[in-house]
Amino acid sequence: MRELTHFIGGKHIQGTSGRFAEGFQPMTGEAITRVPLASRAEVRGAVENALAAQPGWGATNPQRRARVLMKFLDLVARDNEKIAETIAREHGKNIPDARGDIQRGVEVIEFCLGAPQLMKGEYTEGAGPGIDIYSMRQPLGVVAGITPFNFPAMIPMWKFGPAIACGNAFILKPSERDVSAPLMFAELMIEAGLPPGILNVVNGDKEAVDALLDDPDIQAIGFVGSTPIAEYVYARATASGKRAQCFGGAKNHLVVMPDADMDQTVDALIGAGYGSAGERCMAISVAVPVGEKTADELVRRLIPRVEALKIGPSTDASADYGPLITAQALERVTSYVDLGVKEGAKLLVDGRSFKMQGYENGYYLGGCLFDGVTRDMRIYKEEIFGPVLAVVRAKTYEDALALCNDHEYGNGVAIFTRDGDAARDFAARVKVGMIGVNLPIPVPLAYYTFGGWKRSVFGDLNQHGPDAFRFYTRTKTVTARWPSGVKDGAEFSIPTMK
């Protein structure tokens, strides 16, 4: 079993709290890592380290900060396979999926190379008699991110990349289930020339999270996870005066119109519903065919595809997906399948009995497909986060739109159709933050922002894209007048442009 560390001040630091969590290899069920859980004192030590380092980094010009990120990208490319294999071993996703996890993070770092442009303020000469006005963007100071298990490469990079590009020091608290990739990134950042103390990794559980939320020297918090925890983090962070962006759960619908290309639609549902064992906040978990004929055809085509899904160990690059992250996750998802049967939904494909030969202790679940799901069922209302797809039949387009709009989550949604008017109307009227038109997973590219609506998000600014640079900076506006030698006397009214 590998003994892991924190990464503070540019070096690996052994945990001193005396508390540890075991990390398991999902494909075998074997304990492979021992992760230290930080105390409040250890978190405070990381904050003090970051406080000491940040002023110098914040004073470094944006172009030089971008050069460090550019070198970091070269090093990630060099070590890409090693990082992907580590993610597959600790998370359970297969190697190609792990490469994709890294790549979507890399794309945000690439966007951050534009920091010299993105950090620019505005300037107005002669805004008033002898008066110039200009604005500037300045870093917040020390900021932190709390990231989930399902994307151990992508989401940490989404958080620390923009924060560091803006001149902040960053404290990352990754999921204790798969911490090795974030630790590797911290090492590579030092190799790329980042000053020690600017990127720190502190492992931990609720004690470490609360320490970050309460610390008066942390100016902002970013979080990704379940909605109840996102709401908790947002409330506690903002109560202590912090800026916060907290992203929660999802129940992403894919509306299938009668004119949709059914081959394309089924391929999309299989990939988006079952890829990465459904452990994605942007996974499609609800198919909404419009009309009985559409529904019957969709279900007829889905059944053999779900039955034929290839499930394999994380080392099998040809597998469609691998195991779930933990035994507890497997138990939770399986209990939702049990619940769906009890609620009266039709379980057309039952993956509960699946066993992986040679990996009987791994956390595997075969693909599950429900039909006849209704909006009052818990398997429709709640996020399952596993390889389970629910078919909810809609009589009309308006019924399908209402399903998407009425759900408490509003992360992502998709519509499959050949009708441009229908797609345009859907995009305009659906109350969801990210929309796909004939695309099942509408995650925007790095130069747009990522974020949902409703109870999928708490906070005003989204992840990556221009919003990230707004989130991690403060705007300062300067109004300047230089003496001309003319004495105007005291003014007692508010200055205006009259």
Within a domain: 145: yes
Same domain, 385 and 406: yes
Same domain, 378 and 410: yes
Indicate the helix (H) or strand (E) that contains 400. Answer: helix 397-406
Regions of the chain with pLDDT less than 50: none
The answer to whether residue 281 is catalytic is yes
| Sheet order of strands, 131-139 included | 123-128, 131-139, 473-481
Within a domain: 429: yes
Question: Residue 41 class from Cβ within 10 Å (0-12 exposed, 13-18 middle, 19+ buried)?
Answer: exposed
CATH code of the domain containing 126: 3.40.605.10
Within a domain: 307: yes
CB 468 within 8 A of CB 162: yes
Triad 413, 385, 31: Cα angle to 5°: 145
CA gap 260, 264 in Å, rounded: 8
Same domain, 192 and 272: no
Within a domain: 497: no
Same domain, 222 and 262: no
Which is it for the CA torsion 89, 22, 150, 472, positive or negative?
A: negative
pLDDT of residue 484: 73
CA gap 268, 11 in Å, rounded: 44
CA gap 179, 152 in Å, rounded: 7
Same domain, 146 and 232: yes
Same domain, 30 and 175: yes
pLDDT of residue 493: 77
In the set 112, 166, 246, 281, the catalytic residue is 281
Query: What domain range includes position 383?
Result: 252-437
Within a domain: 442: no
Same domain, 227 and 270: no
Q: HSE-up of 116 (CA within 13 Å, CB side)?
A: 9
Within a domain: 450: no
- The tens digit of pLDDT for each residue in 181-216 reads 999 999 999 999 999 999 999 999 999 999 999 999
Total-model pTM: 0.95
How many domains, in total, are found in the chain?
A: 2
Q: Which of 386, 409, 437 is the last residue of a domain?
A: 437
Same domain, 426 and 472: no
Within a domain: 491: no
Same domain, 208 and 317: no
DSSP 344: T
Same domain, 396 and 470: no
CATH code of the domain containing 308: 3.40.309.10
pLDDT of residue 498: 62
Transcribe 38-106 into DSSP letters.
Answer: --HHHHHHHHHHHHHHHHHHHHS-HHHHHHHHHHHHHHHHHTHHHHHHHHHHHH---HHHHHHHHHHHH
Same domain, 99 and 153: yes
Within a domain: 417: yes
Same domain, 19 and 160: yes
Helices (H), 204-356: 206-214, 227-239, 262-274, 292-307, 327-343
3-state helix, strand, coil in the chain (%, to 5): 40, 25, 40
The partner residues of 450 in beta bridges, in order of sequence, read 463
The partner residues of 145 in beta bridges, in order of sequence, read 172, 222
CB 217 within 8 A of CB 251: no
